[in-house]
Chain A
Amino acid sequence: MADTFKLEIVTPYGLVMSGEAEELTAPSIIGQITILPGHHPLLTALTIGELSYKYKGKTEYLAVSWGFAEVTFDRVTILVETAEKAIDIDLTRAEAAIKRAEERLKSLTEDDADYFTAKTSYEKALVRIEVAKKVKGS
Chain B
Amino acid sequence: MASLRDIRKRINSVKSTQKITKAMKMVAAARLKRAQDNILMARAYAERLQMVISSLAARIETKTHPLLEDREEKKSLLMLVFTSDRGLCGTFNSALLKQVEAYVAEKREAYGENICLMVVGRKGVEYLKKRNYNVIDSWTNIYQKEQYETARTIGEKIIDSFINHQCDEVVVVYNKFRSAISQVPTFTTLLPLEPIVENPEMPLTEYIYEPDKQTLLNELLPRNVFTQIHRAILESIASELGARMTAMDNATNNAIEMVDRLTLLFNKTRQAAITKELMEIIGGAEAIKK
Contact = CB atoms under 8 A, between A and B. Distances in A.
A52 interface: no
Interface size class of A (residues with CB under 8 A): 20 to 34
B44 A30 contact: no
A44 interface: yes
Interface of B: 38, 41-42, 44-46, 48-49, 52, 55-56, 147-148, 205-211, 215-216, 219-220, 227, 230
Contact of A15 (B41, B205, B216): B41
Nearest to A14: B41
Given A45-B216, A70-B52, A79-B52, A29 B210 contact: yes
Contacts of B38: 13-14
Contact of B148 (A13, A15, A73): A13
A42 B206 CA distance: 9
Contacts of A30: 210-211
B2 to A, nearest CB: 55
A43 B48 contact: no
Contacts of A11: 45
25 contacts: A10-B44, A10-B48, A12-B41, A12-B45, A12-B46, A12-B147, A12-B148, A12-B227, A13-B148, A14-B41, A14-B42, A30-B211, A33-B210, A40-B208, A42-B207, A43-B55, A43-B208, A43-B209, A44-B208, A44-B210, A44-B216, A72-B205, A73-B205, A79-B45, A79-B49
Interface string A16-56: 00000000000011100100000011111100000000000
Nearest to A11: B45
Interface of B is mostly: helix
Contacts of A15: 41, 44
A41 B208 contact: yes
Given A13-B38, A44-B208, A68-B52, 12 more contacts: A13-B42, A15-B41, A28-B210, A33-B210, A40-B208, A41-B206, A42-B207, A43-B207, A44-B210, A45-B219, A73-B205, A79-B52
Interface in A36-92: 40-45, 68, 70, 72-73, 77, 79, 81
Given A12-B148, A12-B227, A13-B148, A42 B210 contact: yes
Contacts of B211: 29-30, 45
B208 A42 contact: yes
B210 A45 contact: yes
A77 B209 contact: no
B48 A79 contact: yes
A68 B207 CA distance: 14
A33 B88 CA distance: 53
A118 to B, nearest CB: 15
Contact of B42 (A12, A28, A29, A72): A12
Contact of B209 (A14, A44, A81): A44
Contacts of A72: 205
A12 B207 contact: no
A10 B223 CA distance: 14
Nearest to B42: A12
A93 B277 CA distance: 75
B56 A43 contact: yes
B230 A12 contact: yes
B196 to A, nearest CB: 15
Nearest to A40: B208
B210 A43 contact: yes
A72 B207 CA distance: 8
Contacts of A81: 148
Nearest to A44: B210
A43 B42 CA distance: 21
* Nearest 7 Cβ contacts at the A-B interface: A14-B41, A44-B210, A12-B148, A41-B207, A42-B208, A12-B45, A43-B207
